[in-house]
Amino acid sequence: MNGDDEAVAASADPSLPLDWRFSQVFGERSAGEEVQEVDIISAIEFDHSGDHLATGDRGGRVVLFERTDAKNSSGARRDLEETDYPLRHPEFRYKTEFQSHDPEFDYLKSLEIEEKINKIRWCQTANGALFLLSTNDKTIKFWKVQDKKIKKICDINSDPSRAVGNGTIATSVNGGVPEANNSFIPGGISSLRLPVIQVTSHESSPVARCRRVYSHAHDYHINSISNNSDGETFISADDLRINLWNLEISNQSFNIVDVKPAKMEDLSEVITSAEFHPTHCNMLAYSSSKGSIRLIDLRQSALCDSHSKLFEEPEAAGPKSFFTEIIASVSDIKFAKEGRYLLSRDYMTLKLWDINMDSGPVATFQVHEYLKPKLCDLYENDSIFDKFECCISGNGLRAATGSYSNLFRVFGVSPGSTETATLEASRNPTRRHIPIPSRPSRALSSITRVVSRGSESSGVDGNSNALDYTTKLLHLAWHPNENSIACAAANSLYMYYA
């Protein structure tokens, strides 16, 4: 059985480990090329069908990609029949881009507002148009992207016999400007012809238009937006509050969660992420910097100060360190497609929760356990505050999250699964799995010391490979219907399939 046959067998049997392979890359850097800060990708999101992918960057731009494989001659998607060969991998192409946010300055607070896109969320499509929400630290925008036919001039006819105006022509005096009294005299010298212009519609081009702007509702930086399953409302969350919006109303929102204490010196935790339940429009979850996740029901009260369920891991026995609470902070949460399970990511681990069981996580996965001895170095260079995202497959059997050196890890989260894979954002995603020759421990330790002395942002990962804290894979997304992952490494978008 060759590699392609193994991949097909794995996709047919969900219990088999997946063989991940490189698919595509957009914006790959050449060796030694310097990356501009504004080009670094800061958000990734597939739409509900998986046929479109959106990325946002620190320069405030949103770039859209569309799927091109499995299309017939008319451009419409077709279902694979029994006679069709399985697709080798999904293929995407660049569709369009637009400037979503620009840098601003809050004169009342003397605060610069970055244009960086924090989150992108797709909304329901209608009449062939795409709709999505994008946000920076303060302002949310609702965009409509639709194909418009471009009209072009195909022919300009300047033949005197076809001139406009019943063949009227202008006369000039001494070759100069036509006189006012005899400018249009039939039979005069021809000096002015009005051409016949023919205009035809050519290929369509996507055009983005901002439909609404939701602003002036958050005093702190927006960290999350999430669409409701009702298709009419969405939430936005900052450090202390969660607001509920109607997509059709941009000048009013309702505050549904407020954790701001009466005195700010009593503040003990902040909101880090918020997500609507995928099927129940009355339920949502939000995480905190203390490592807890709260499930709230909008039917209980207008202001959801009290939660319906609290998910947190029981405190471990033994002494706590200065870094215990920092690494416990949840940076991202994602509901599984059916809504029963919830995935969370803190600095060191990935956890899977059953919303029907609040005694603790049903599974915990170590992402980069080898970093525990280096927490002091990570704190000094602020890497310990990096916010890694997580994603879960459409069938809920696997989850993925990122790490340093542009690595990301895929775990099997179904009961009894031991599947795990570590890949690098490159054209050869499994090259980090190549075993290195064994060396004496003394030589290995000396190499480690030299690397650490040369760069404070380096270390060694679990396979004794050099680890670079400056290259990190924070953002990734899983295709909703297939085993395909899109992830961002600096300004490059890498796509993998299994």
Q: Which pLDDT score is estimated for 447?
A: 27
**Residue 103 and residue 113 in contact, taking contact as beta carbons nearer than 8 Å:** yes
Among residues 377, 316, 331, 268, the alpha carbon closest in space to that of 476 is found at: 331
∠ CA 493-208-121, rounded to 5°: 55
Instruction: Delineate the domains of the chain, giving CATH numbers in brackets.
Output: 3-148+207-425+471-497 (2.130.10.10)
CA-CA-CA-CA dihedral for 327, 331, 337, 341, to nearest 10: 30
Alpha-carbon distances of 303 from 51, 248, 276, 315, 392, rounded to whole Å? 37, 22, 16, 29, 30
Residue of 498, 487, 473, 496 lying closest to 427 (CA atoms): 496
The tens place of each residue's pLDDT in the chain, 498 residues long, gives: 455 555 544 555 667 889 999 999 999 877 777 889 999 999 999 999 999 999 999 999 999 999 997 544 334 444 433 333 344 678 999 999 999 999 998 888 888 999 999 999 999 888 889 999 999 999 999 999 998 877 776 666 655 555 444 444 444 444 444 444 444 455 555 556 666 666 666 677 899 999 999 999 999 999 999 999 999 999 999 999 999 999 999 999 999 999 999 999 999 999 999 999 999 999 999 999 999 999 999 998 888 878 889 999 887 777 788 899 999 999 999 999 999 999 999 999 999 999 999 899 999 999 999 999 999 999 999 999 999 999 999 999 999 999 999 999 999 999 888 999 999 998 877 765 433 333 333 332 222 232 232 333 445 555 555 577 889 999 999 999 999 999 999 999 999 999
Buried b vs exposed e over 466-480: b needs ≥16 C-beta within 10 Å? ebbbeebbbbbbbbe
Query: What's residue 189's pLDDT?
Result: 52
Query: So what's the pLDDT on residue 339?
Result: 94
CA dist 319 and 113 (Å) reads: 41
Mention every residue, 6+ apart, whose C-beta is less than 8 A from residue 343: 333, 334, 335, 336, 350, 351, 352, 353, 390, 391, 392, 399, 413
- What's residue 86's pLDDT? 44
- Residues in the chain, how many? 498
State the amino acid at position 140 in one-letter form: I
Identify which of 25, 18, 24 has the alpha carbon closest to the alpha carbon of residue 3.
18
Q: Which H or E element spans position 332?
A: strand 332-335
Q: Is 203 helix (H, G, I), strand (E, B) or coil?
A: strand
Rounded to 5°, the CA angle 492-494-496 comes to 175
Distance CA 361, CA 351 (A): 6
Compute φ and ψ for 111, nearest 5 degrees: -125, 130
